[in-house]
Amino acid sequence: MRRTDLRSPRPRNTDVLSPTELSRTLLRYCEPDFRRALFEVGITLVPLALLWVLMWLSLSAGYWLTLLLAIPAGGLLVRLFIIQHDCGHGAFFRQRAANTWMGRVLGVLTLTPFDYWKRNHAIHHATSSNLDRRGIGDIDLLTVQEYREKSRVGRLLYRVYRSAPVMFVVGPAWMFLLQHRLPFHQMRDGWRPWISTIGTNAVIALAIAGMISLVGLGPFVMVHLPIMLIAASIGVWLFFVQHQFETVFWARSGEWSHHDAALAGSSYYDLPGLLRWFSGNIGIHHIHHLNSRIPYYRLPKVLRDHPELKQVGRLTLWDSLKLPRLSLWCEQRKRLVSFKAAKAL
């Protein structure tokens, strides 16, 4: 079988199937399994509900225990978001309506309006790694030249935005608790984003009111807020690692292709087994970007059947801890660089 190198400036440890061959090969993994889908929802939602109750009961024993239990609960909420994410791609069920309504229900739990998010995420998949089409569904990234052309205040604001506390703590809280409530940045897209968000907000408000009536305002906030904040930070961290690594592929429209953006613009985040389960295999992101209709529970099988793909864009947990310092795209070196390295260019 013929194999070709990727058209990309980054070094390769392995060859992969040509774009046509690989696209055709991945089609066999796209069929959803209804029973497996329901099982995945059950083994995520039921433990999350049980942990929520345990956290509420633990308040009388000490808040440190409540916060400790919030960690796995936050992980399960991330997993629910991955199911919602698959629904957005039409990958979780065969029926479009089933994907839509499951996504909308889970959107209440994840504080993410499904239809509004689905549109933004579709744009992300269509424009990922394209320097001329940045700005929707991705993390803001400047080139070295763009950064130099900004005013002193503009450079300071960008540094603050790319700092770890803002990127992984303040930013996620802002996005899931506030930004998703009102889509002001989509004013030109008409009424659809507003219907999605306002409808989701209304159901969220009713759900919160019901929970407060059962457990009280204070206990509800003390239990649910840590879960949401942990899940939001984990979610943004995963998205960051998947597209913000040193040898990531970025190109102008004339040199951009979907195949390069998927395999070279998305990482394979090789996490330990337990973290891979909580994150719904989303670390196998290069395969997901090649074909977003593959259910997340089938992604590991793709790697088992095609081990050559395991070395493409591979990042370990240790590797990922070094990534937050990379903040600028160098068009000359075709790499992400730190602010310090950019000074020497």
- Return phi, psi of residue 130, to 5°: -95, 110
Structure tokens given for 76: 């399960």
% of the chain with per-residue pLDDT over 70? 92
Of the listed ranges 14-28, 36-50, 93-107, 141-155, the least confidently predicted one is 14-28
Task: List, in order, residues 6 or more apart from 342 with CB less than 8 Å away.
Answer: 144, 147, 328, 330
In this predicted structure, what is the pLDDT of residue 4?
Answer: 35
- Compute the Cα dihedral for 251, 252, 254, 259 and give only its sign: positive
pLDDT of 187 strictly over 80: no
Spatial separation of the C-alpha atoms in residues 53 and 49, rounded to whole Å: 6
Length of the chain: 345
Q: Where are the beta strands (DSSP E) in the chain?
A: 3-4, 16-17, 142-143, 268-270, 314-316, 326-330, 335-338
First vs last C-alpha separation in the chain:
42
Nearest-angstrom CA–CA distance, 262 and 301: 18
pLDDT of residue 311: 86
Q: Tell me the C-alpha distance between 74 and 237, whole Å.
A: 13
Write out the two tokens for 134: 């940045």
The per-residue pLDDT for range 272-325, each reduced to its tens digit, is: 999 999 999 999 999 999 999 999 999 999 999 999 899 888 999 999 999 999
The β-bridge partners of 337 are: 328
**Strand pairing partners for 163?**
none
| pLDDT given at position 189 | 62
Q: What element of type H or E holds 53?
A: helix 34-58
Q: What is the pLDDT of residue 13?
A: 39
> Domain containing 236: what range?
3-343
**Can you tell me which residue has the tokens 């990482």?**
267
**Token pair 């919160």 is at which residue?**
208
- Per-residue pLDDT at 6 exceeds 70: no
Which range has the worst mean pLDDT, 75-89, 175-189, 191-205, 250-264?
A: 175-189
Record the tokens describing residue 217, joined without a space.
Answer: 């305002």
Going by pLDDT thresholds of 50, 70 and 90, the confidence category of residue 8 is: very low
Pairing of strands 314-316, 3-4: unpaired
The domain total for the chain is 1
pLDDT value at 79 more than 80: yes
Q: How many CA atoms lie within 13 A of 149 on its CB side?
A: 5
Q: Is the dihedral of CA 176, 177, 182, 184 positive or negative?
A: negative
Mean pLDDT, rounded, for 217-224: 96
Rounded to two decimals, what is the model's pTM? Answer: 0.89
Taking Cα atoms as reference points, which of 253, 242, 246 lies closest to residue 130?
253
Higher per-residue pLDDT: 135 or 252: 252
Q: Are 315 and 54 in contact (CB under 8 A)?
A: no
Rounded CA-CA distance 175/118 in Å is 15
